[in-house]
Amino acid sequence: MARRASGYDVAVSQLIDAAGYAGAAIGTVAIIPQVTRAYRVGVAGVSATTYQIALASGLMWIGYGFALGVWPQVPGNVVGGICCALILYQCWRSGQSLLSVVRVAVATLAAALVVALIGGVSSFSWAGTIFSNLCWFIYGAGHRDPRILSAAGLSMTLSVVIVQIVAVRRRRQAVAVAA
């Protein structure tokens, strides 16, 4: 039976690649509600810093994909980068300041937590992000790529924590309104 460099049968390797492409597709679909919201409702409550970080991350993953031939990384990050750029354009038009790349790198974790705490991100987007990273985690495990494993695992973990923070916050707000 034919095997790839990863040591897996070609059929198994193709399933692993399919998980990578599924992760890219789901991650891309997860951001579309935010783009739609930015153009229909505006960007109030949307953190430009988060989308700058996402754009920078996407560009790095595109470079990684091209450099090492990890093709599932490329299409989703190109589309995701375009979506981030569209949201950033709306942020810029509304007067939000856009940070330098250095400040963006330093603010990554803080921005994710701030956005989670102040809202502005749909539950669908977070669920899509978690599932997308789960697919990337499977892809990284299948290809034994520790960089993808660690990035997907960290991102998935942070996303789950953020969803929990938002859920608790929304529950408390609902109880406060009902009381």
> pLDDT per position in the chain (179 positions), as tens?
455 555 667 778 788 888 888 888 888 888 888 899 889 998 888 877 778 778 877 877 777 777 677 778 788 888 888 898 899 889 888 887 766 444 444 444 454 555 545 455 566 677 777 777 777 777 777 877 777 767 777 777 777 777 766 777 777 777 888 87
* Structural domain includes residue 1: no
Q: Output the six-digit token pair for 19.
A: 């998980």
Domain count, the chain: 1
Query: Residue type at 149?
Result: L
**pLDDT value at position 40?**
92
Among candidate residues 160, 156, 124, the one with its CA nearest the CA of residue 23: 156
- Report DSSP state, residue 145: -
| Cβ neighbours, 10 Å, residue 10 | 11
Among candidate residues 133, 170, 176, 138, the one with its CA nearest the CA of residue 155: 133
Contact 132, 24 (CB under 8 A): yes
What secondary structure does DSSP assign to 98-131, as a single string? ---HHHHHHTHHHHHHHHHHH--S-HHHHHHHHH
* Structural domain includes residue 5: no
Contact 57, 83 (CB under 8 A): no
* Structural domain includes residue 38: yes
Q: Spell out where 11-164 has E strands.
A: none
* Structural domain includes residue 172: yes
* Structural domain includes residue 3: no
**pLDDT value at position 156?**
74
What radius of gyration, in Å, describes the C-alpha atoms of the chain?
A: 18
Domain carrying residue 91? 10-178
Burial readout 152-174 (b: 16 or more C-beta within 10 A, e: otherwise): bbebbebbeebbeebeeeeeeee
* Structural domain includes residue 4: no
Angle at 57 between CA 128 and CA 18, to 5 degrees: 50
**pLDDT value at position 106?**
45
* Structural domain includes residue 2: no
* Structural domain includes residue 18: yes
**pLDDT value at position 74?**
82
